[in-house]
Amino acid sequence: MGRLVFSRETYAESRRTRGVESDHGVTKKGEQQAKKTGKLSPLVDPAVDALRRSMLRLDATEDGKWEVTVGCPMDIEVSVDSTGSMGDNVDRAMAALPRTYELCAAMLPGYDPQLALGFFGDVSDNFVLNRPQFEMEADKIVGYLSEMNPERNGGDTPEDPQYSMFASAFLTSAFTNKIGLKGYYFVCTDAPMHERISADTLERVFGEKVWEALKDNGYDCDHLCYPDMAETVEELLKKKHAFVLCIEDVPYGYKKYFGNRIIPLESTDYLPEFESAIIGITEGTLEPDEVEDYLKSKGVPKEDINTAIDALLELPFGAQRELEQQNNVYIPKLGDIFENKTDLKPTTKSDAKDKSEENSDESAWL
């Protein structure tokens, strides 16, 4: 599955080859596609292969086994409001992409960060949700961002991020969950949500085969029996370290579902910095007493830090490490060897292999 990871060089080249020369109007191609065909680009259409996957990257070895080429995948899904005043957030995400990847990766040493940067609207829009696959290479992420279709409308004041939450909870197959860890999910908005999920809208957003996709992912649902809002968030929190990033006031409805996992922000200008801080706290790579200095060092203004800091410091420090210990998790590393692609633990660990090779070299020298 390759060894390529995000780089600023491939990011810049990908923008050039796609004609994305400005930080404004980066979704021109996606908007033209939707206008011409009445459909989203397959790269971001939740109805095209509704299940999103985050998998361990492996290459075949000469003896028919499988070697880890990067590290343990870490699924990071972000779903941002693209209605009204939030309508330029795809442009912002494209411009901030190098910061998003690099800052999150710095908090996840040894992992293979895989990003699904999506956007949501309202059921009154033509398209309720733009949701890509998890990707780790700059060219693929730039590609799907350029094919988004933010409608910038939204109808009434509440929006419909609950379909993004449903997708993350029930229509994601992530390696992290299989080994006993959780990935990350961020929803960013400045508006309340409708708090309702309907079968008709599930079919509209994820396609008529959504029930088959759910069954393939282990959920026995149909048009008459499917998760409601409370069950959706409950499942989401089982699978993801999930957080709500609220611009200005905390919109009605979120508090009862997400409790203290809500972080107030001044704007979306510093989403990468705040997302990486949250990941660092949760992973235990950023100590609580380091959070404020970390944000300052990344250029976040004092006012923005003051708005968020109290909520950040209430987050459970090291929650991922608790899961690791509780579930006796082995986190795959670069160079580990697996017998089969579907195995969850390697037959040969890279550190053991390195020691064996060192001993072999030493014996030969002696």
pTM: 0.94
Q: Using CA atoms, how far apart are residues 208 and 205, in angstroms rounded to an integer?
A: 9
Contact 89, 24 (CB under 8 A): no
pLDDT of residue 156: 62
| Overall CATH class of domain 8-327 | alpha beta
Which amino acid type is present at position 360? S
Write the DSSP symbol of residue 264.
Answer: E
**How many CB atoms are closer than 10 A to CB 293?**
12
Average pLDDT along the chain, 366 residues, taken 10 residues at a time: 90 96 94 95 97 97 97 98 88 97 98 98 94 97 97 78 98 98 96 94 98 98 97 98 90 86 96 98 97 98 97 97 98 98 96 50 34
Q: Residue 114: enclosing H or E segment and its boundaries? A: strand 111-120
List the Cα angle 238/244/248 in 5-degree steps. 165
Domain-wise residue ranges, the chain: 8-327
